[in-house]
Structure 1
């Protein structure tokens, strides 16, 4: 396996990415690449790998789905009692990566986090399928469970609980986080590993955005 791993390699032949080709803002550029990823047929193009660190300093990562992009940041929704939420409440900082491997593209977003408003959570909650809503009630996310049957039983219990309700309410322990970036890097694979890396970053003095090119 070691020999196989050493020789696993993809030669990138993508077009160049230059500053002049970028949208005026990071969120417009991210929206553009999200659309292009979806049009390219990438499954769950809005999936991003979220990295957090807890009070013990140990990093964790997992995939979540981005559900909003605007000048304020990128938003995802989760259980507020989950491991990721405990980490975010402690550090108030996170990093996320959109990995579009088949397009030889990545986007890295880094910055502080904040809770979205209850109104934003309710608006998104209303768009979720009923099954997903019931699952949010049934799962005590990140806790140890005895077996699969216990999860199925919890979902059945939630289904019975709201069987007579036309709409399932959002659990009080569930909602959104917004990652408000200080840096957003757009990565485009190039030949000979001389990749294009363009990073939007906030100036520490006047909070304006600027773009810098990074060495690969």
Structure 2
């Protein structure tokens, strides 16, 4: 196997800059601006985000999930409540999200606490999912050991037959989580590794403190 010289993998970031004077007073508004620019740049799945959770005994785990709703209250995604991340978020609501848009040389880190969304919100989103995805939510005991793919296929056939000719209801074990932010950091790549980092920290008054961080 050929050896890869990882030390030689370097990128000189030159596509933008960021200053405290550039950003909006609300980090949610600033995120909206950056997200829309990522969409306009036709980045593949700009709503893909790295979700980090922590187990009750302090072990971190991470995976990619998709942002489905963003509003003034926070960042919402949907998953199986009985998955590993579901159990970890139930036990420890502190979590972190990271977006990385390499084409724009940008990263956003979001720290906060997790809460479940209302059942109606989960119902409404589940209703607009593709039917195959709806069936899949019934099929998968997410994060649990499964003997083979054939087991999943047989379960899928059974649920397809069960719900034939009717709408697929949302399973009780599936729904939405919202990360309510208390810290959001915007990172813009710059030359010589002197990157721009602007951090928003939520204060007790409910206002956001905006500061520049050293790269």
Higher mean C-alpha displacement, 11-20 vs 72-81:
11-20
Unaligned runs of at least 5 residues, structure 1: none
Alignment of structure 1 residues 1-216 onto 2, 5 Å: 4-165=5-166, 167-203=167-203, 205-216=204-215
SS at match of 1:133: helix
Cα deviation, residue 3, structure 1: 5.1
Q: Which digits, 9 at most, give the CA deviation of each residue in 1:169-201, with x for residues without a partner? A: 111001000000110111110000111111111
Distance 2:20 2:155 in 1: 51
Distance 2:127 2:36 in 1: 23
Higher mean C-alpha displacement, 28-37 vs 180-189:
28-37
Distance 1:150 1:188 in 2: 46
Q: Which digits, 9 at most, give the CA deviation of each residue in 1:126-153, with x for residues without a partner? A: 2211111111111110001111111111
Distance 1:2 1:57 in 2: 35
Give me the TM-score of the superposition, normalised by structure 1. 0.95
Unaligned runs of at least 5 residues, structure 2: none
Cα deviation, residue 2, structure 1: 6.1
Give me the TM-score of the superposition, normalised by structure 2. 0.96
**Which of structure 1's runs of 4+ aligned residues deviate more than 2 A?**
none
- Residue pair 2:25, 2:208 contacting (<8 A) in 1 also: no
Higher mean C-alpha displacement, 149-158 vs 176-185:
149-158
Q: Size of the alignment, in residue pairs?
A: 214
Distance 1:47 1:214 in 2: 25
When the two chains are superposed, the root-mean-square deviation of aligned CA atoms in Å is 1.2
Distance 1:123 1:197 in 2: 37
SS at match of 2:181: coil
Cα deviation, residue 156, structure 1: 1.4
SS at match of 1:213: strand
